[in-house]
Amino acid sequence: MDALSMSNRLETKGIRPSVQRLEIYEYLLQHRTHPTVDEIFEALHSKIPTLSKTTIYNTLSLFVEKGLAMIVSIDEKNQRYDACTEPHTHFRCHCCGRVFDFPFPRALNVELPANFVVKQSDVFLHGICENCH
Amino acid sequence: MDALSMSNRLETKGIRPSVQRLEIYEYLLQHRTHPTVDEIFEALHSKIPTLSKTTIYNTLSLFVEKGLAMIVSIDEKNQRYDACTEPHTHFRCHCCGRVFDFPFPRALNVELPANFVVKQSDVFLHGICENCH
DNA sequence: TATAAAATTGAAATTATTACAAATTTTATG
DNA sequence: CATAAAATTTGTAATAATTTCAATTTTATA
């Protein structure tokens, strides 16, 4: 995705496209690895030497609030972020730690009593990936 | 469950039934609220004044390792613990914070490539419970 | 009982995240 | 263009969950 499209997408969601926000969004789009704040910081701070982690936290919170990204809590240590907000399954390899995307189950039918309203469904799988196998 | 049965269950799993371990296990069995370490500590430290949080951490790690309990990572802030290790669905109310148990989906079919081996499957639902509705 | 092994404890270290106020940048306005 | 206001970014400090670790206490064993 080119810079203009990204800029437009941010503005559509009511987010002013600053340099930092565009870089963070671009990183999320190009690295579908569900990066942590630290990973994003390590990747970008040579490009933007003044970048602070607080900005990354702020920006990602804003993205989540505006529906441009989602938090993936499959890793107990860190919060991970994903620019793909469509429902999908996450698989975490407990050997290399990588998080993979897979399709969401066709029908995730959980029998709930009335008056329980589901806003978000997460399917987290843990195991060994093809590389570590 | 009486004290003797709990003691037996610990020993069956290769865990020596100390006072602390029995109390923590009993608390987990009687409070199906997926308590945090803090909640367990608050509940037990009047009964066992010398109890330390480190012991609770140690004990719960041991329980998880030996298959007597599982970690429920539905809460991003704290790790929660569950003495029920059978697969089931967790629902967390983002209003009151309580975590509820529900049956596991009959068939959780996620299409995975060969060589991806699943060891654990978590289904986490987030929403509003019947009390907060 | 004496000794070794296991368990418990408390303090300190680690680490992810949040809070917050100051500094900087951007935008709006005269 | 100059300046004020608003928004954003930044760095430091605070918070809080968990881990580390060495010392102490308890339990098992010879």
Whether residues B118 and B63 fall in one domain: no
User: Where on strand D do bases come within 7 A of a protein Cβ?
Assistant: 7-12, 16-21, 27-28
Answer yes or no: do B70 and B95 share one domain.
no
pLDDT confidence bin for A85, thresholds 50/70/90: very high
Judge if B115 and B76 occupy the same domain. Answer: no
Distance CA A13, CA B39 (A): 40
Q: Do B64 and B107 reside in the same domain of the chain?
A: no
Torsion of CA B123, A90, A74, B67, to 10 degrees: 60
For residue B112, which residues of chain A lie inside 8 Å, CB to CB?
91, 102, 125
Mean pLDDT of B40-57: 97
The CATH number covering residue B40 comes to 1.10.10.10
pLDDT digits (tens, 9 = 90+) for B10-36: 999 999 999 999 999 999 999 999 999
Please tell me whether residues B35 and B100 are part of one structural domain.
Answer: no
Mean residue pLDDT across chain A? 96
B128 contacts chain A (CB < 8 A): yes
- CATH number at B130 reads 3.30.1490.190
**Domain containing residue B111:** 86-133
Enumerate the residues of chain B whose CB falls inside 8 A of the CB of residue A102: 110-112
Q: Judge if B54 and B109 occupy the same domain.
A: no
> pLDDT tens digits for A107-123?
888 989 999 999 999 99
Residues 6+ apart with CB under 8 A from A69: A28, A60, A63, A81, A82, A83, A85
Predicted pLDDT of residue A2: 87
Residue type, B13: K
In this complex, the nucleotide whose C1' atom is nearest to the CA atom of residue A18 is D8
- How many C-beta neighbours within 10 Å does residue A40 have? 22
Spatial contact of B133 and A117, defined as CB atoms under 8 Å apart = yes
* CB-based contact, B77 to chain A, within 8 Å: no
How many structural domains are present in chain B? Answer: 2
Q: Is A61 on the interface with B (CB under 8 A)?
A: no
Using CA atoms in the order A51, A76, B41, B54, what is the torsion angle rounded to 10 degrees? -90
Residues A10, A69, single domain; the answer is yes
B29-32 long-range contacts, Cβ below 8 Å, gap at least 24?
B29/B1, B29/B83, B32/B82, B32/B83, B32/B84, B32/B101
Burial classification of residue B38, based on how many CB atoms lie within 10 Å of its CB (0-12 exposed, 13-18 middle, 19 or more buried):
exposed
The token pair that represents A63 in the structure block: 């993205």
**Are B77 and B90 found together in one domain?**
no
* Mean of the per-residue pLDDT values of chain B: 96
Last residue of a domain, one of A42, A59, A82: A82
| Partners of residue A128 in chain B, C-beta under 8 Å | 116-117, 119
Q: Do residues A15 and A40 both lie within one domain?
A: yes
B131 in the same domain as B78? no
**Are A64 and A108 contained in the same domain?**
no
Return d(Cα A107, Cα A123) in angstroms, integer: 12
Quote the tokens at residue A71. 């938090």
Q: Are A10 and A49 contained in the same domain?
A: yes
